[in-house]
Amino acid sequence: MPARAFTRCALALFYGVAGVFHLAMPAPFLTIMPAGVPAPELMVQLTGWAELAGAAALLQGWSAGLRRAGGWGLAAYALCVWPANINHMLMDMANINGGRNLAYHIPRMLAQPVLIWAALWAGGVTDWPWRRR
């Protein structure tokens, strides 16, 4: 299986599972929501549907344009949820019980730009750092 197709499938699985969790079990996502986000329950539902839609767009085989839209959408999604991940890290670091440590949070923060790039690459938006021949 070519690398781009593998990445497409892996991201679709990752975001598909995450979307189901956002819809079926929203409580953990609500606890890390930054305070200024309006209608947090609705936001968790919308992010779940966005993950499912992006996963479906990456997996479909009849439209390169739809795959690109899915790539753009999942890249934007990963960028938009970064503040919740940062908030989660700050909450854990301030927690008297310790929460999850930096060994969990730092890789998660570093993975966010990789997820953004992977969505764009898997969706066919970019060929960077490789060029098509």
Break the chain down into helix, strand, coil percent, rounded to 5.
Answer: 75, 0, 25
SS3 89: helix
Number of other residues whose CB lies within 10 A of the CB of residue 10: 13
**If you average pLDDT over residues 50-77, what whole number do you get?**
94
Strand positions, DSSP E, the chain: none
pTM of the full structure: 0.88
Per the CB < 8 A criterion, the answer to whether 47 and 7 are in contact is no
**If you average pLDDT over residues 15-20, what whole number do you get?**
97
pLDDT tens string 78-97:
999 888 889 889 888 888 88
The confidence score (pLDDT) of residue 128 equals: 86
